[in-house]
Amino acid sequence: MNHVTVESADPARMAAPEGGREIELRDALREAMSEEMRRDARVFLLGEEVAQYHGAYKVSRGMVDEFGERRIIDTPISESGFAGMAIGAAMLGLRPIVEFMSWSFSLVAADPILNNAPKMLYMSGGQFGCPIVFRGNDGAGGQLGSTHSWSVEGLYSNVPGVKIVIPSSPYDAKGLLKTAIRDDDPVFFLESERMLSVKGPVPEEEYLIPFGQAIVRRAGRDCTLASWGRPVNFCLEAAEQLAKEGIDCEVIDLRTIRPLDIDSVVRSVRRTNCCVVVDQSWSFGSPGSELAAQVHAACFDDLDNFVHRVHSADVPTPYASHLEQEYLPNVRRICEAVRHATYRA
Amino acid sequence: MPSVSPSQGNSLYQVHGATERPAVAPPRHATAELRISNDALLKWLRDMMLIREFEVRCMQAYQEKKIGGFCHVYIGQEAVAVGCTSALEAHDPMVTAYRDHGHALARGMSARACMAEMFGKIGGCAKGKGGSMHMFDRANNLFGGHGIVGAQTPLGAGLAFATKYEDEVINGGRSKRVTLCFLGDGALNQGAFHEAMNLSGLFDLPVIFICENNGYSMGTSIHRGTTMGHDLSAKAAAYGIDSMIIDGMDFLEVHAGMSKAVTDARTRSRPWFIDMRCYRFKGHSMSDPRKYRTREEEETYEAGDPIGKLDKLLRSRGALNDDDQKEMQKGIREQVREAIVWADAQPVPSMAELYHDVFVEPMGPYTGTCFPTMLKEQGMRAPWREEPCP
């Protein structure tokens, strides 16, 4: 067993401030990259359509105008090649940010991103690290069909040696991405395409959010909802609905799944005696099943029921909108799971 | 019967497969103007002999079960690693595949660290965590030793991308370094290789892809697995990359050809592709019965042993006699014997090493990272946070 535990700071410390300016999540990502590129000449961005097209999803809009084509680099559609190339560059000491237009496309780069980046430090006996960030869209919900709708955290969280970050708000996206770029280890940064246009408060002042520190999004007494990324927002919505039924949920946003802040979840479950894990990847061998196993191990005597899990349905992602919405770990399915877990079904 | 001497106009691989066409013959690169001192040649001969002796002892150690897992020896191809390295400057990066002991030794890794790595000992270049296929040497700019066929080719492009970026974008000068990226002929059919070639051509990367074309990807002859196997320059031409055929069984040819390619790649910041014709005298790995090729073919190539060829040249120049050769061989035998004794005496990695070097940052069960002894002894320090070695 390989349980990563990280001492948590005050979970309320790095919450988005109320008031102030609000920007879209895509702009928060761009600000993070631009600030880090101004700070460190070794940082550069490469990927498909990042420069002249200004980003397939406009995340890198305008960056080529500021940094030029030597640092904002358009690549051909060649994920295995440019992911591997960036890893080689990181071994020599550069700090690449690799944009996958979609993490679904990273599957053709599985060998470099899973067999090289996370293992280089280990198999070289500490000689060559790999300070690199891979980032891009992850998750279903845009009616993109089966092949473009991956939640790759289900596959990739199985691999030791990578850090995996899945932000749920513009504020977190910026603070976590800046941390990722400064990190000396390889980071997979998974953004929700469905959330790129979501606006949220992001202060003008610089801030970084540390990895491995969960945040309590909503305090509650009856059941702990543990999640990360876009489904955190579903959990908050479900919690509001359940509150009307008299079920008071605590919503914890893990922010990173490697490292996994199990301590924050355990602290919460010891008070609520109930836990529901919400994970948008498939259930079989997933980060959600890992978290549930860790909660079972740490809270065996505290739990009033087994840890319930809400995942994407165990089928290829469908195209039809109503099927896809049912496929996702949506508010209705989260509410049902909480009612079962709290014996209120 | 083919001859291994390109000067006789014969080509390699005539004997392989049923459908091949005669391979395009390597031209001669070592011209009469090539001036190399006898001292330099003697040093390179010794480097080649060291690799040969080291690999022979590896095979023994493997039989004695001191080496585990896979072990791919380099016997027969020594002129390639030594000849290519002889054309480089110290700051030029190098990356290779899994048949990598020869490259590590040619680049300057000690026989001790190389052998101890294979013995799974803490004194190994990668603390015994890499093994035979993962020789890394930061001090000598060797970026591995990689196990998946072709996977090192995008890395090679990336190393060249990084040197160019450092020299041009960060330091505002001109690109100064050249990366050598070795691959076997089996890697020619991997997608990663073609993507790396395309990106290198596209981005003007100063990287030289050296295809150590020993005619077989494991047990499959090049003509059974690779289109245009008789003329690999077609692959390079498809990406607008200059290419060269070199007789890899002749040190002088390798040195002369590679010197041209390295100089050009350095001057123009452009990639090259080298069809390096060679032959491995032993099997693909230690478990290979070599049923896919004839003894007759092996004997033909063995007759053109690259070590014998350079030895003969030095004798013809009056720079080597029987006594010198015996003395050199004795010294090498002693060096490798001593490396084995040293590697045997090294401790195995402590159990705490299991959770070391996974992440730079210590977290949870992971205890951070530190350089191996091989680098620490040279006073090198990591550019990231180092923790005490367990």
A116-167 residue pLDDT tens = 999 999 999 999 999 999 999 999 999 999 999 999 999 999 999 999 999 9
For B:107-166, CB contacts with A below 8 A are 124-130, 134, 136-138, 143-144, 146, 148, 151, 153-163, 165-166
Question: Which residues of chain A does B93 touch, with a Cβ-Cβ cutoff of 8 Å?
Answer: 92
Per-residue pLDDT tens over the stretch A232-278: 999 999 999 999 999 999 999 999 999 999 999 999 999 999 999 99
Query: Does B360 contact A123 at a Cβ distance shorter than 8 Å?
Result: no
| Domains and their CATH numbers in chain A | 22-201 (3.40.50.970), 215-341 (3.40.50.920)
**Do A82 and B360 count as a contact with CB atoms less than 8 A apart?**
no
Q: What percent of chain A has pLDDT over 70?
A: 96
The answer on pLDDT for B2 being more than 50 is no
Specify the range with the lowest mean pLDDT, choosing from A9-18, B13-22, B125-134.
B13-22
Residues A278-298 have a mean pLDDT of 98
Task: Report the phi/psi class of residue A166: left, alpha or beta, with left for phi > 0 and alpha for psi in -120 to 50.
Answer: beta
**What band does B22 get if pLDDT is binned at 50, 70 and 90?**
confident
**Cβ–Cβ of B192/A115 closer than 8 Å?**
no
Decide if A76 and B198 are in contact by the 8 Å CB cutoff: yes
Confidence of residue B5 (pLDDT cuts 50, 70, 90): very low
Whether residue B1 is predicted with pLDDT greater than 80 in this model: the reply is no
- For chain B, domains (ranges, CATH) are 35-349 (3.40.50.970), 351-390 (no CATH)
Helix or strand (DSSP H, E) at B208: strand B207-213
Instruction: Determine phi and psi for B352, rounding to 5 degrees.
Output: -65, -20
Number of inter-chain CB pairs under 8 A, A vs B: 181
Q: What is the pLDDT of residue B19?
A: 52
- The residue from A49, A54, A148, A296 that is catalytic is A148
Alpha carbons B225 and B221: distance in angstroms, whole number: 7
Note the pLDDT tens digit of each residue in B291-341.
999 999 999 999 999 999 999 999 999 999 999 999 999 999 999 999 999
Residue A143 in tokens: 């009616």
Q: How many CB atoms lie within 10 A of CB B280?
A: 22
Q: Are A174 and A181 in contact (CB under 8 A)?
A: no
Choose the weakest-confidence range: A99-103, A125-129, B244-248, B280-284: B280-284
Active-site residue, selected from the candidate residues A24, A31, A36, A79: A79
For A6, the closest of B126, B364, B382 (CB atoms) is B364
Find tokens 């996994």 and name the residue. Answer: A260
Please give the radius of gyration of chain A, using alpha carbons only, rounded to the nearest integer.
20
Q: From the candidates B92, B100, B195, B355, which should be mutated to test the interface with A, based on the most A CB atoms within 10 A?
A: B195
pLDDT tens digit sequence for A9-44: 454 457 888 888 999 999 999 999 999 999 999 999
Q: How many CB atoms lie within 10 A of CB B63?
A: 10
Confidence at residue B369, expressed as pLDDT on a 0 to 100 scale: 98
What is the C-alpha separation between B382 and B386, in angstroms, rounded? 7
Question: Any CB–CB contact under 8 A between B372 and chain A?
Answer: yes
Nearest to B360 among A41, A94, A185 (CB): A185
Task: Please write the tens of the pLDDT for every residue from A187-221.
Answer: 999 999 999 999 999 999 999 999 999 999 999 99
The least confident of A106-115, B10-19, B229-238, B290-299 is B10-19
Q: Is A79 a catalytic residue?
A: yes
How does the average pLDDT of chain B come out, rounded?
94
Question: What is the distance in angstroms between the Cα of A83 and the nearest Cα belonging to chain B?
Answer: 8
Average pLDDT in the A306-312 region? 98
Q: For residue B192, which residues of chain A lie inside 8 Å, CB to CB?
A: 80-81, 84, 111-112
**Is A311 a catalytic site residue?**
no
Residue B329, amino acid: Q
- For residues B217 and B9, the model is more confident at B217
User: What does the DSSP assignment read for A66-101?
Assistant: HH-TTTEEE--S-HHHHHHHHHHHHHHT-EEEEEEE
Question: Residues B105-133: what's their mean pLDDT?
Answer: 98
Q: Do B155 and A185 touch (CB under 8 A)?
A: no
